[in-house]
């Protein structure tokens, strides 16, 4: 079975700092990749997704992620974080089609003023 690893469990940044959250998956075939975010007190929502084409995908709120097939990675980045980015971030992978996602364990991001 595939697995998804998020190595940063807790990240604390100051506003305007750059962000990179790691995501690695274990599957050698075709994958569909997602980042979801859960803001405090809100529903889990999609940040961005990759299916094919340009490996650098842009999502909402200035986030982007790069798919590097050779590294089995899909890291999330943002050049300058804001206090409102404080949330939990989940990487997810779909390998078999049918939209059945395998999620990583999540990264709790806290942005300090």
Partner 1 sequence: IAGITQAPTSQILAAGRRMTLRCTQDMRHNAMYWYRQDLGLGLRLIHYSNTAGTTGKGEVPDGYSVSRANTDDFPLTLASAVPSQTSVYFCASSGTSGATDTQYFGPGTRLTVL
Q: Which is nearer to partner 1, 33 or 81 (CB)?
A: 33
For the CB of residue 98, give the shortest distance to partner 1 in the complex, in Å. 5
CB-based contact 32:94 (threshold 8 Å):
yes
Interior/surface letters 75-108, b for 16+ CB within 10 angstroms, e for the rest: bbebeebeeebbbbbbbbbbbeeeeebbebebbe
18 binds partner 1 (CB under 8 A): no
* Binding residues among 64-103 for partner 1 as defined by CB under 8 A: 90, 92, 94, 97-103
Q: Does 40 bind partner 1 (CB under 8 A)?
A: no
- Shortest distance, position 95 Cβ to partner 1, whole Å: 9
């Amino acid at each position: 079975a595939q697995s998804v690893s998020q190595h940063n469990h807790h990240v604390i940044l100051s506003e305007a700092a750059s962000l990179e959250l790691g995501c690695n998956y274990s599957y050698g075939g075709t994958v569909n990749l997602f980042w979801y975010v859960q803001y405090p007190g809100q529903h889990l929502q999609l940040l961005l997704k990759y299916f094919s084409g340009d490996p650098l995908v842009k999502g909402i709120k200035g986030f982007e992620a790069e798919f590097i097939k050779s590294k089995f990675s899909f890291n999330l980045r943002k050049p300058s974080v804001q206090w409102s980015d404080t949330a939990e971030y989940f990487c997810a992978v779909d390998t078999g089609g049918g939209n059945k996602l395998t999620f990583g364990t999540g990264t709790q991001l806290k942005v300090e003023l």
